[in-house]
Amino acid sequence: MPSNTPADSEVKQLSYFNKFNWLWLVATVLVFSALVKLGFWQGARALEKEQRLLNIEKLTTQKAISLAQVVALANKNNVYADINDFPVFIAGEFDKNQVFLLDNQVSKGRLGYRAYQVAVTGNYAVLVSLGWVQGSISRQELPEVAALDGQHQFNGNVRLIEVGILLQEQEFAQVQWPLRVQQIELDKFSALIGHQLLPFVVYLDKNELLGFEKNWQPIVMPPEKHRAYAFQWFSLALAWLLLMLWAKFGANVNNDKNNKKAS
């Protein structure tokens, strides 16, 4: 039987090290790139939040416009993001039998719901956030909500819905009002009520007497927090790079020292 020569052993060793080098390079680059990308993403989010805060500050001095004007402005620019946070005045009709309760809403350490109703005005129907209501101890019991009924006039602010991660798709085969929901899905709500809802929600102005506890914040996570997260991601990227460099070259230095001692 042929025996392995020193040359064969050296070839196998070189092949092993080449494979190790490729794996090391791929792992280092992939993880480092992902961490850096997350850092830049958080930085971009910080800039977006700063821009939105400046826009909100500017809009505080602007007179509220009608719902029809809001829609016309959005259609003119073909971008609904342009009307985010706009002050709006609405004269609409509510149906007290149709109330949506957004689950898992916390206020001052208390668990509850955010109540929504649909305001129908002229050719438009829009979902209106009426505020926060406290939930009961039992999950089987929904809170009694003093729903709005008939014609009402009110001021509010336009807010575009940020779609979150939904672990399970919402099914509304059997509807019982008030309806508990896990996420605002305007298309599905439109099918339920028989009106096509506008692609945004109106939050009641905090000075309005209508509705419930108005605790909503347009910016949940401030820009400073996004920058802190960005710094963490960049720090992790640097730490990962240093660790992988040490694992590659530091191990080789130690092996060379051990080989010299052995010889």
Q: What is the DSSP string of 83-113?
A: GTT-EEEEEEEE-TT--EEEEEEEETTEEEE
44 and 107 housed in the same domain = no
Residue 109 domain-assigned? Answer: yes
189 and 99 housed in the same domain = yes
158 and 213 housed in the same domain = yes
Residue matched to tokens 């997260």: 229
Residue 14 domain-assigned? Answer: no
Q: For strands 65-66 and 87-94, give the pairing.
A: parallel
Quick one: tokens of 206? 């905090």
CA gap 7, 5 in Å, rounded = 5
According to DSSP, the residues that pair with 110 across neighbouring strands are 107
Residue 262 domain-assigned? Answer: no
47 and 131 housed in the same domain = no
Please give the backbone phi and psi of residue 131, each rounded to the nearest 5 degrees, phi first. Answer: 120, -175
Residue 80 DSSP label: G
What does each C-alpha distance from 252 to 5, 25, 248 come to in angstroms? 25, 15, 7
129 and 155 housed in the same domain = yes
**What's the number of domains the chain is made of?**
2
pTM for the complete prediction? 0.75
263 residues of the chain, pLDDT tens digit each: 455 555 455 545 555 455 667 787 888 999 999 999 999 999 999 998 888 888 888 888 889 989 999 888 888 877 777 788 899 999 999 999 999 999 988 888 888 999 999 999 988 999 999 999 988 877 778 888 889 999 999 999 999 887 666 666 777 777 888 999 988 989 889 999 988 999 999 999 989 999 999 988 878 788 899 999 999 999 999 999 999 888 877 655 555 555 555 55
224 and 213 housed in the same domain = no
Residue 5 domain-assigned? Answer: no
Task: List the domain range (segments joined by +) for residue 108.
Answer: 86-217
Residue 2 domain-assigned? Answer: no
243 and 149 housed in the same domain = no
